[in-house]
């Protein structure tokens, strides 16, 4: 990647983040990942949580929290509004601008 292309790409990403248009990924939906995903969603980002455990992804998509710091009422609202979804599919990263591990 040439320096000009890299700079242009960085500016596009910066604007997507600033305008909350960047699609955010969180790998691992445990006691750190799920609260992080919820905070990004509350900040206005569209978030995809990725976890290999289908029980966790199913519970997130049902709006049912398994983390004490996240009330199910908060999680279910975010899921219902389409700001957070969970998947076991690792190739979901192809559709994301950022990935947090």
Q: Which pairing describes strands 98-100 and 84-87: parallel, antiparallel, or unpaired?
A: unpaired
Q: Determine the 3-state secondary structure of 76 from DSSP.
A: helix
Task: Examine residue 90 and state whether it is found in any structural domain, yes or no.
Answer: yes
Residue 8 lies in a domain: no
Q: Give the domain range for residue 70.
A: 20-100
Structural domain includes residue 28:
yes
Q: What is the pLDDT of residues 55-85, one digit of tens each?
A: 999 999 999 999 999 999 999 999 999 999 9
3-state secondary structure of 38: helix
Q: CB under 8 Å to 38, separation ≥6 — which residues?
A: 70, 74, 75, 78, 84
Q: Which residue has the higher pLDDT, 2 or 11?
A: 11
In the numeric block, which tokens belong to residue 68?
């004490």
- Is 12 part of a structural domain of the chain? no
The domain that holds 67 is classified in CATH as: 3.40.50.720
Whether residue 3 is contained in a domain is answered as: no
Q: Is residue 29 domain-resident?
A: yes
Is residue 15 a part of any domain in this protein? no
Residue 25 lies in a domain: yes
Domain tally, the chain = 1
Q: What is the pLDDT of residues 9-36, one digit of tens each?
A: 899 999 999 999 999 999 999 999 999 9
């Amino acid at each position: 990647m040439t320096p000009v292309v890299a700079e242009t790409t960085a500016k596009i990403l910066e604007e997507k983040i600033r305008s909350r248009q960047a699609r955010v990924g969180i790998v691992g939906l445990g006691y750190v990942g799920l609260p992080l995903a919820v905070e990004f969603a509350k900040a206005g980002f569209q978030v995809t949580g990725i976890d290999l455990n289908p029980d966790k992804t199913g519970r997130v998509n049902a709006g049912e929290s398994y983390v004490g710091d996240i009330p199910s009422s908060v999680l279910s609202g975010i899921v219902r509004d389409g700001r957070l979804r969970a998947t076991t599919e690792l190739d979901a990263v192809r559709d994301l601008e950022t990935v947090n591990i």
